[in-house]
Amino acid sequence: MIEIKNVSKSYVKGKKSVDDLNLEIKNGEIFGFLGPNGAGKTTTIRMITGILNMDEGDILIDGKSIKKEPLAAKKNFGFVPDSPDMFLKLKGIEYLMFMADVYDVPQNKRKEKIEELTKKFEIYNQLNNQIQSYSHGMRQKIVICGALLSEPKNWILDEPMTGLDPKSSYDLKEMMREHAKSGKTVFFSTHILEVAEKLCDRVGIINKGKLVFVGTFEEMKQKFKENASLEDLFLEITEK
Amino acid sequence: MDKVIKLTKIFLKNSFSNMDARMGISTKSKSKIIVYGLLFLYFAGLIIFLGYNLLDGLIAIHQETIFVGMILFMIFGLGIIQTIFSSINILYFTKDSEYLLPLPLKPYQIILARTNVMLIAEYVIIFLIGFIPLVMYGILTGAGIVYYLTMILAVILVPILPVLLISMLVMFIMSFAKLTKNRNRFQLFATLLVLAIIIALSISTSGMKQDLTNEEMAQMVVQANGMIELVKGYVPTVDYLMEALTTNSLFTAIVEVLKTLGITIVGFILYMLIAQKIYFKGLVGNLFGGGASNTNKEINQKEYRNSKLYKSYVGKEFKNMARNPVFLMQCLIPAVLIPIIMVVVVYAGLNSDGMGLEQITQMVQQTPTNTFFIACIILGVIQFFTMFIYISITAISRDGENAVFMKYIPVSLYKQYLYKIIPNIIMNIVTIIITLGMAEYLLNLPVITLIELFIVATIMGILQSIAMIIVDLKRPKLNWDSEYAVAKQNLNLVFPVLLSIVNIVILVGFVYLLKDINVYVGVGILGILYIVATVITNKYLYNKQYELADKII
């Protein structure tokens, strides 16, 4: 469960990039975070994950404050950043083992989990190669594998579908559904409205730092124009 | 041409973006400019001092023209060495190439702009090691205006050919060999080549001494002259410019400069013709060359074994450096290479004096070596050697945009800082052991002194490592487009030099203040001082661990 309470952040004095954000992502829920470029999505994700400090408010991951108990809070999520160009000089297997050491994955689970994830994403045969030789999509896959290795209760994913081929994208979405079904949380940002509509239990739309809508797509349609397309609804909400 | 200039500006801004930001108009930046100005003056002073001594000796025996040849060859040689490293990155591995290709630019515009970037980087260094000594030559020999005009042309023209030659060679290799997919091997090869040159140079120059008699000087001059005569046959531009700079005839000077200009223009035209044919083939191959092949190699069961986090983290740091030739060269190799070069230099130097090591050891044994003075000299030498290990000062910057990783994993920032400086401390210890080994061989010091020196030098290394990661945290260079920008074009690299200067000044001060103190007590006092400084610096790192990470976003 992720709780965002009265969170604000300014990069420039007098101009809030995120303004008094309140959000609760419940267990068993897939939550899509939408918004135009520069709306505050990445800033919010960076505050949830502890990369950025917030000016006001607090964020709790399974009840642990990222501000007051950062290490305990960080143990409760797995994060996939927007850029997968990480540790390019390491071999795939070295990267995954490093992540396993960082997140204390037990010895007896490592092999099983690495094989399961990498075979699902069809990169098992590449694990002995340096990540720098991987394509963009393969890099995205190895980063996702690294984040999910420790079976974190909360998944936080920044634009996770970018660069993935259709099959991997489908697999990831299935995994997200299974994860939520088992009572855990998925929070992800995306630009692809169709993905959000088909996958998410609820969505939040942020615009100019303010949360302008939270709810299901049905609620969005009821609140705005019933017959409008998803794209029209999004544009109406964010251009108001 | 307008587009070429604009492109060059953008490439330069891109690679020096952090420097640009720092060179802003805030008072903070002004103070930085003063620091860099002072450092520039320091190096310029050093070059003037060394150059003056050499030139003065040559003037005494009327052989000053050799000085001009030496400087011109140095510019040429430096052009080659520098381009070996920079060309591969600038031409093929900057991230902007992918965005550049679809733009409506003509191939020659991109090639020219890339070549300009390499040349400009060249001119910055040449100003120090070429321009200043040549001006000094002009002043000391009372040269006229023709000399200075020719000199300016020489400094501009000499580095062009090596840059063109090496770039062309790199383009040639990259266009047909499959090395494009193997940048590491190529760079490693270049690294080893340069190392071989450095060692060869250190051996060949190691016979030089400070106080030479005229006879010895004359003998050296004959050797130097012979070398210049030998090499200049292969480098006609240097030959012509040497003639132009040392002649008294205006006509000869003009003719020689025109000859150089002619060769450079021909070289440039050839370069442009060949580059337009082969550059883009290699570039496209490199950018869009096929993905990774399936290795199907079974993963060794050992790979699945878990290890302690600190081992895993430190291992990751070492792997990242060792597998990256630029980092390998700047971070790991100096720890071993610099003391070894010094061993070679000292050994060859002793031999050239007609003195074997045995005689030296015998001589040393007759004078007291176990003194505080000698101990401080050894610590100063260690400090000087370890200054070139750039592990801590680039610890954060090396990760580039991935440095944010540190902030979202469940490991305390302080611990991660320590894991990142452990490789620096380990490499420092390597240098310390080699240096103390040399000292022991020469000076035959008691074991207790060696142990005491080892402990104090190690503490000095820990202090240096902590201080340098703090500098990197305060001024990280995270947006780089090639490793070269972190390991070379990084102004933070002046801080290890500054710290070393401070440290050596402190050591000199102690020698002056505690001249006759017992060596064990003296080194002990130094040790306590360094421990206190290390504890304070470490406390700062611990207390400010979160604030220090503010710039990592």
- Segment B494-541, tens digit of pLDDT: 899 889 989 989 999 998 888 788 889 999 999 999 999 999 999 999
Q: Which chain B residue has its CA at the smallest distance from A95's CA?
A: B316
Show the domains of chain A with their CATH numbers.
1-76+154-163+183-240 (3.40.50.300), 83-152 (no CATH)
Confidence of residue B22 (pLDDT cuts 50, 70, 90): very low
Tally of domains in chain B: 2
Residue B302 touches chain A, beta carbons under 8 Å: no
Q: What does the block give as tokens for B226?
A: 């012979």
Q: Which residues does B10 contact at the CB level (< 8 Å), separation at least 6?
A: none
Contact A49 B407 (CB under 8 A): yes
Alpha helices (H) along chain A: 41-48, 70-75, 92-102, 107-120, 136-148, 166-181, 193-199, 217-223, 230-238
Q: What does the block give as tokens for B205?
A: 């120059």
Contact A127 B405 (CB under 8 A): no
Contact A102 B402 (CB under 8 A): no
For residues B240 and B259, the answer to whether their CB atoms sit within 8 Å is yes
pLDDT (0 to 100) of residue A156: 95
- A152 three-state secondary structure: coil
Q: Do B281 and B314 sit in the same domain of this protein? A: no
Closest C-alpha to A132, from B181, B521, B23: B181
Q: Do B226 and B81 sit in the same domain of this protein? A: yes
| Higher per-residue confidence, A137 vs B481 | A137
Mean pLDDT of B199-216: 55
Q: At what angle do helices A92-102 and A136-148 cross, to 10 degrees?
A: 30
Q: Do B159 and B263 sit in the same domain of this protein? A: yes
Low-confidence winner among A138-142, B134-138, B482-486 (lowest mean pLDDT): B482-486
Q: Do B277 and B313 sit in the same domain of this protein? A: no
Residue B210 touches chain A, beta carbons under 8 Å: no
Q: Do B396 and B510 sit in the same domain of this protein? A: yes
Q: Which chain A residue has its CA at the smallest distance from B399's CA?
A: A87
Q: Do B392 and B500 sit in the same domain of this protein? A: yes
pLDDT (0 to 100) of residue B210: 45
B-chain residues near A97 (CB < 8 A): 303-304, 306, 312
pLDDT (0 to 100) of residue B234: 67
The alpha carbon dihedral of B120, B125, B130, B131 has a sign of positive
Calculate how close chain B gets to A92, using CA atoms only, in Å.
11
| Residues spanned by the domain of B129 | 2-285
Provide the greatest CA pair distance for chain A: 54
Contact B408 A74 (CB under 8 A): yes
Q: Do B122 and B248 sit in the same domain of this protein? A: yes
A-chain residues near B552 (CB < 8 A): 51
pLDDT, averaged across chain B: 81
Calculate how close chain A gets to B349, using CA atoms only, in Å.
41
Confidence of residue B54 (pLDDT cuts 50, 70, 90): confident
Last residue of a domain, one of B252, B285, B318: B285
Residue B203 included in any domain: yes
Residue B223 included in any domain: yes
**Does ipTM exceed 0.90?**
yes
Contact B294 A93 (CB under 8 A): no
Confidence of residue B12 (pLDDT cuts 50, 70, 90): confident
Q: How far apart are CA B115 and CA A89, in angstroms?
A: 28
Mean pLDDT of B434-443: 87
Q: Residues 179-198, chain B: which have Cβ within 8 Å of A?
A: 181
The radius of gyration computed from the CA coordinates of chain A, to the nearest angstrom, equals 18
Q: How far apart are CA B63 and CA B526, in angstroms?
A: 48
| Higher per-residue confidence, B471 vs A175 | B471
pLDDT in tens, chain A (240 residues): 999 999 999 988 888 899 999 999 999 999 999 988 888 999 999 999 999 999 999 999 999 999 999 999 999 999 999 888 889 889 999 999 999 999 999 988 998 999 999 998 889 998 988 898 888 888 989 999 999 999 999 999 998 888 788 888 888 898 899 889 999 999 999 888 888 888 999 999 999 899 988 999 888 888 776 667 777 777 877 776
Residue B262 included in any domain: yes
Q: Do B254 and B316 sit in the same domain of this protein? A: no
Residue A51 is nearest to which of B291, B306, B404, comparing CB atoms?
Answer: B404
pLDDT (0 to 100) of residue B535: 97
Calculate how close chain A gets to B353, using CA atoms only, in Å.
48
Q: Do B267 and B322 sit in the same domain of this protein? A: no
Residue B302 included in any domain: no
Q: Do B365 and B250 sit in the same domain of this protein? A: no
Last residue of a domain, one of B247, B269, B285: B285
Contact B306 A110 (CB under 8 A): yes
Q: What does the block give as tokens for A127?
A: 């694990």
| Higher per-residue confidence, B31 vs A33 | A33
Residue B65 included in any domain: yes
Q: Which residues pair with A23 in a beta bridge?
A: A4
Query: For chain B, what percent of residues have pLDDT higher than 90?
Result: 29
Q: Do B223 and B361 sit in the same domain of this protein? A: no
According to DSSP, the β-strands at A2-12 and A56-61 are antiparallel
pLDDT (0 to 100) of residue B26: 43
Low-confidence winner among A88-92, A145-149, B102-106, B449-453 (lowest mean pLDDT): B102-106
Maximum average pLDDT range among A190-194, B90-94, B294-298: A190-194
pLDDT of B19 above 60: no
pLDDT of B17 above 70: no
Mean pLDDT of B133-138: 88
C-alpha distances (whole Å) from B19 to each of A40, B13, B402, B470, B493 are: 29, 9, 20, 18, 12
Q: Do B140 and B239 sit in the same domain of this protein? A: yes
Last residue of a domain, one of B250, B285, B320: B285
What DSSP letter does each residue of B210-238 carry, written as one string?
SS--HHHHHHHHHHHHHHHHHHHTT-HHH
Confidence of residue B451 (pLDDT cuts 50, 70, 90): very high
pLDDT of B371 above 70: yes
pLDDT (0 to 100) of residue B35: 67
Q: Which chain A residue has its CA at the smallest distance from B293's CA?
A: A126
Calculate how close chain B gets to A75, using CA atoms only, in Å.
5
Q: Which chain A residue has its CA at the smallest distance from B309's CA?
A: A101
Q: Residues 323-362, chain B: which have Cβ within 8 Å of A?
A: 323-324
pLDDT (0 to 100) of residue B23: 38
Maximum average pLDDT range among A15-19, B58-62, B175-179, B439-443: A15-19
Contact A98 B312 (CB under 8 A): yes
Residue B297 included in any domain: no
Residue B295 included in any domain: no
Residue B300 included in any domain: no
Phi and psi at residue A135, in whole multiples of 5°? -75, 170
Contact A90 B316 (CB under 8 A): yes
B-chain residues near A133 (CB < 8 A): 181, 291-292
Calculate how close chain A gets to B159, using CA atoms only, in Å.
34
Contact A107 B407 (CB under 8 A): no
Contact A87 B402 (CB under 8 A): yes
